[in-house]
């Protein structure tokens, strides 16, 4: 799923010009050209769980590049500047660049119909224009294939031909991985080369370099350098970059891999007109869909104007549980600088790190280090324990654990009070994910009907499904639902970038949120950088008061 990073502004990159400090025992390589204090503080994030790389690039070339943690926990192999990461949906920025390269060459036009470009394409997908596909305004809904499941070219065309539309094309926004695979098919048709060859020959090349900036996570041409092994909840991810294909399920929408340094360098070169022509870049940045919230959709990117963060910003992020990798890159056109972060564990993912350190970088201040709150009085923690009921009947169950409070939120109102978007996800991402899960369990698609069949084999005929709430857990969105069948069952669903089921768990128990003490009997929702998530809780006798972005709720201790 695409993530929007909401905290970038005028990034202070001058911090990346001094000598590097010794990064200590964090599995970190000696990073050239990095400010000593920056490396020291980033190393504290490695100690807190960040494993990956960070790189800055500007007109002057590649600046600070630093690597932290382990590329392979079992062998103890550290991440280095040469370690390769899957970049997920960031691949769409490269697909968009390829399309505008072909437009600049006169091979395409924005108003061309996909059906006139891809032989055998039918259905609503055939009527979608190139511009609608680029901006996710085609209305196409559904998925054409599952990640890392073989899908040939003809099969992909057939599956895309079966997609429905959720709205009149061009009138609304609906994120579509399938739309970008259709763009890859268009590249395959009109470029005179295969999709992969064209990407490697024309788009992944950097000025002054013979080798490509990365390659494909699975198959050829592969990126130079060792691939990091991804970890989710401490377990090796399923996708290790060795899937034989065919690869059309992910083509164009999430198939690329590279180092953080190459991602930052490519971003700078692309926007500066060194990958595609300056006229093509101008057309790319001028092709937009207004979201109405200070942001606009640009092909492959989300753009924020200066009224939102003080300076224009282009950003895109991606990743998934199948690889265990996450990547984010941001471009600041006023300073011609790019920042890329990649990660290979779910402890602190790349977009969460950017969320944590971005405001300080924006202000030109030292980045925050992980903060676990203040030491709490054990008696105070014990006094807060208990079960608290909201007026709606939802319940908070509070237990003291390791100097913190673990709060299980049972019921939609309880979840809503504590669940706040983080890790680069937005409230809109929450809503889209929740609606997609409800549509899935409503049997509105073939994948949904298959999931219902599997579900009913376990719990009986499903009569009703109600959303309980969406949370961020282990770096992914999970929507909790109450399923009424022979009995009522709680479950959570995580959907992948194609809207297919990435993970599901029946009877998981309600989501649990951690509150850390901040002093004077007040608690905040845990977040490593100490900034909090806009959620505060106060315990006063038998009253628990929770205040967050959506307002304040009160819950009373059950007798």
> Highest-confidence range of 237-241, 303-307, 425-429, 494-498, by mean pLDDT?
237-241
Nearest to 230 by CA among 398, 87, 57, 443: 87
Report how far apart the first and last C-alpha atoms of the chain are (Å, whole number). Answer: 44
State the pLDDT at residue 218. Answer: 96
Section 123-143 average pLDDT? 94
State the pLDDT at residue 32. Answer: 60
State the pLDDT at residue 21. Answer: 33
Section 330-356 average pLDDT? 89
Nearest to 478 by CA among 492, 496, 497: 492
Helix (H) / strand (E) element for 254: namely: none
Helix 278-286 / helix 91-104 crossing angle, nearest 10 deg: 120
* Whether residue 429 has pLDDT greater than 90: no
302 close to 314: Cβ distance less than 8 angstroms: yes
> Highest-confidence range of 155-169, 230-244, 342-356, by mean pLDDT?
155-169
How far apart are alpha carbons 187 and 191 in whole angstroms?
5
State the pLDDT at residue 359. Answer: 67
Indicate the CATH number of 14-90+214-363 among 3.40.710.10, 3.20.110.20, 1.20.200.10, 3.40.50.360.
3.40.710.10
Which has more confidence, 299 or 212?
A: 299
> Highest-confidence range of 97-101, 454-458, 459-463, by mean pLDDT?
97-101
State the pLDDT at residue 111. Answer: 97
* Whether residue 24 has pLDDT greater than 80: no
Which has more confidence, 74 or 48?
A: 74
Count the Cβ atoms, other than its own, within 10 Å of residue 554. 12
pTM of the model: 0.76
199 close to 188: Cβ distance less than 8 angstroms: no
State the pLDDT at residue 424. Answer: 65
* Whether residue 558 has pLDDT greater than 80: yes
State the pLDDT at residue 283. Answer: 98
If you write DSSP's letter for every residue of 457-505 in order, what string do you get?
HHH----EEEEEEEEEETTEEEEEEEEESSSEEEEEEEE-TTSSEEEEE
Share of the chain above pLDDT 70, in %: 90
DSSP 536: E
* Whether residue 14 has pLDDT greater than 70: no
What CATH number has the domain spanning 371-419+511-559? 2.40.128.50
Paired strand residues for 232: 235
**With b meaning 16 or more CB within 10 Å and e meaning fewer, what string describes 102-126?**
bbbeebbebebebbebbeebebbbb
State the pLDDT at residue 232. Answer: 84
For residue range 477-517, list pLDDT tens digits in order.
Answer: 899 999 999 899 999 999 876 577 878 899 999 999 988 88
* Whether residue 25 has pLDDT greater than 50: no
Could you tell me where the DSSP H helices lie in 12-152? Answer: 36-47, 91-104, 123-127, 130-135
pLDDT averaged over every residue in the chain: 87
* Whether residue 185 has pLDDT greater than 90: yes
* Whether residue 222 has pLDDT greater than 90: yes
State the pLDDT at residue 2. Answer: 47
* Whether residue 18 has pLDDT greater than 50: no
Band of the pLDDT at 373, cuts 50, 70, 90?
Answer: low
176 close to 140: Cβ distance less than 8 angstroms: yes
Band of the pLDDT at 362, cuts 50, 70, 90?
Answer: low
- List the domain boundaries for the chain: 14-90+214-363, 94-190, 371-419+511-559, 421-506
* Whether residue 306 has pLDDT greater than 90: no
Count the Cβ atoms, other than its own, within 10 Å of residue 239. 20
DSSP 393: S
State the pLDDT at residue 428. Answer: 83
State the pLDDT at residue 30. Answer: 46
For residue range 165-183, list pLDDT tens digits in order.
Answer: 888 999 998 889 999 999 9
Nearest to 380 by CA among 523, 558, 250, 279: 523
How far apart are alpha carbons 178 and 510 in whole angstroms?
33
Which has more confidence, 42 or 228?
A: 228
* Whether residue 22 has pLDDT greater than 60: no
């Amino acid at each position: 799923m695409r993530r929007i990073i909401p905290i970038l502004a005028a990034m202070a990159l001058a911090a990346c010009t001094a000598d590097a400090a010794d990064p200590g025992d964090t599995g970190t390589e000696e990073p050239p050209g990095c400010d000593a204090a920056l490396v020291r503080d980033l190393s504290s994030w490695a100690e807190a769980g960040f494993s990956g790389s960070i790189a800055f690039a500007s007109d002057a070339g590649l600046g600070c590049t630093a690597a932290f943690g382990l590329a392979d926990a079992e062998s103890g192999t550290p991440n280095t500047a040469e370690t390769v990461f899957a970049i997920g949906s960031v691949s769409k920025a490269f697909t968009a660049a390829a399309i505008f390269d072909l437009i600049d060459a006169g091979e395409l036009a924005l108003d061309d119909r996909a059906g006139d470009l891809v032989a055998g394409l039918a259905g609503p997908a055939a009527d979608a224009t190139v511009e609608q596909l680029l901006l996710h305004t085609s209305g196409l809904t559904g998925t054409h294939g599952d990640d890392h499941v073989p899908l040939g070219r003809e099969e992909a065309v057939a599956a895309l031909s079966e997609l429905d539309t959720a709205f009149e094309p061009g009138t609304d926004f609906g994120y579509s991985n399938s739309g970008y695979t259709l763009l890859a098919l268009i590249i395959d048709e009109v470029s005179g080369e295969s999709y992969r060859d064209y990407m490697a020959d024309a788009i992944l090349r950097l000025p002054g370099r013979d080798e490509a900036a990365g390659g494909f996570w699975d198959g050829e041409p592969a990126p130079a350098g060792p691939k990091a092994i991804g970890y989710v909840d401490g377990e090796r991810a399923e996708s290790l970059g060795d899937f034989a294909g065919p690869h059309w399920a992910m083509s164009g929408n999430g198939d690329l891999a590279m180092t953080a340094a190459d991602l930052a360098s490519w971003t700078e070169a692309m926007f500066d007109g060194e990958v595609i022509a300056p006229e093509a870049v101008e057309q790319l940045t001028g092709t937009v869909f207004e979201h109405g919230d200070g942001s606009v959709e640009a092909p492959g990117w989300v753009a924020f104007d200066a009224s939102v963060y003080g300076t224009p910003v282009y950003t895109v992020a991606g990743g998934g549980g199948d690889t265990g990798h996450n990547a984010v890159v941001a471009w600041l056109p006023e300073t011609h600088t790019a920042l890329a972060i990649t990660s290979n564990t779910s402890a602190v993912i790349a977009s969460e790190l950017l969320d944590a350190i971005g405001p300080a970088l924006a202000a030109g201040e030292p980045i925050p280090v992980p903060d676990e709150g203040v030491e709490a009085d054990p008696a105070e923690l014990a006094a807060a324990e208990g079960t608290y009921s909201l007026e709606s009947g939802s319940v908070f169950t509070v237990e003291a654990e390791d100097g913190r409070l673990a709060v299980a939120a049972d019921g939609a109102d309880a979840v809503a009070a504590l669940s706040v978007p983080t890790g680069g996800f937005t409230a809109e991402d929450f809503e889209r994910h929740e609606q997609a899960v409800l549509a899935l369990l409503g049997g509105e698609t073939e994948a949904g009907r298959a999931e219902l069949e599997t579900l009913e084999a376990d719990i009986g005929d499903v009569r009703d499904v109600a959303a309980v709430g969406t949370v961020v857990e282990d770096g992914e969105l999970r929507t909790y639902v109450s399923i009424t069948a022979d009995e009522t069952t709680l479950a959570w669903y995580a959907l992948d970038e194609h809207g297919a089921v990435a993970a599901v768990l029946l009877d998981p128990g309600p989501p649990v949120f951690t509150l850390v003490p901040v002093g004077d009997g007040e608690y905040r929702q845990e977040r490593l950088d100490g900034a909090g998530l806009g959620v505060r809780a106060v315990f006063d006798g038998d009253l628990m008061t929770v205040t967050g972005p959506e307002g304040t709720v009160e819950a009373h201790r059950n007798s």
